[in-house]
Amino acid sequence: PITPGELLCLGSSLAFSSLFYYIYRKKARVVSRIQEAPKLQVDDDLPALVSAAEGRCLPYVVLEGIVLPAQAALTSHYHERLQGVIQKLMLKEHRLIWNSLARCW
C-alpha cells in the first residue's frame, strides 16, 4: 500500500525532474547553436556583412582578430597569458504604459 505522503513525494519528484530536464534541454540547444556559430574575421568586410544581415544583427558568431582595449586589457586570474576586453553595452528603455487593471507601469 502506498500512502498519500509517498504519492505526494513521488509526484513532486517527477515534477521537479521534468522541470530540470526541460531547462537542461533548452540550455543544451543554446550551447549547440553557439558551438555551431560561424567564424568571422575582424576586417573591412565585417560592417558590410552586418548591414546585409536580417535586422542588421548577427545572432551567434565567433569574431577572430585583434581588438584594442579602450583603457587596459583584463587579465585572467586563472591563466596568466589570457587577456580580454569588455564590449560596450547599449541600454534601450522601452516606453512605459500605465496598466489601469493592474495599477502599475
Q: What is the pLDDT of residues 48-62, one digit of tens each?
A: 888 888 888 887 788
Cβ within 8 Å of residue 68, ≥6 positions away: 85
Q: What stretch of H or E contains 9?
A: helix 4-35
pLDDT of residue 89: 63
| Percent of residues in the chain assigned helix, strand, coil, to nearest 5 | 40, 10, 50
Average pLDDT value for the chain: 85
Asked if residue 27 lies in contact with residue 49, where contact means CB atoms within 8 angstroms, the answer is no
Query: Positive or negative, the Cα torsion across 54, 47, 71, 34?
Result: positive
pLDDT digits (tens, 9 = 90+) for 31-51: 998 888 888 888 888 888 888
Pull the grid cell for residue 52: 546585409
pLDDT of residue 76: 86
**Is 17's pLDDT higher than 70?**
yes
